[in-house]
Amino acid sequence: MKFAYFFLAEFINMFIIASIAVVLFFGGWLSPFGITESITWFPEVFWFFIKVLLIIFLMMWFRWTFPRLRVDQLLTLEWKYLLPINLVNIVFMAIIIWLNWTL
């Protein structure tokens, strides 16, 4: 039963994250096609849940497709590759701002 609660909590977390992403980035309850006469009879809740289900599907597809990395592999990726790239990016952007360059 404990595993069932853990599994249920994981899916609830996916739903909450997908709902926040839909509201912030994908127009929430609005139709993805704009306002057209042929699809106005769909309620807004329909569009919201379709978008949420699409985001959940993409999250699960990503999880199924890529292998799970161990903690030491993630730490190696972060410290050896991502952190130096981010530091170079910060220095580069500071130089651009200091010289008043516009891209």
Is the pLDDT at 21 greater than 80? The verdict is yes
Helix (H) or strand (E) holding 6: helix 2-25
Q: Taking a C-beta distance cutoff of 8 angstroms, is the pair 56, 18 a contact? A: yes
Is residue 31 domain-shared with residue 74, that is, in the same domain?
Answer: no
pLDDT at position 80 is: 95
Domain that holds residue 97: 69-103
Is residue 41 domain-shared with residue 75, that is, in the same domain?
Answer: no
Measured distance CA(86)–CA(103) in Å, rounded: 19
Is residue 82 domain-shared with residue 50, that is, in the same domain?
Answer: no
Nearest residue to 56 via CA among 9, 17, 7: 17
Nearest residue to 56 via CA among 3, 102, 97, 10: 10
* pLDDT class of 34 with cuts at 50, 70, 90: low
For residue 36, the SS3 value is coil
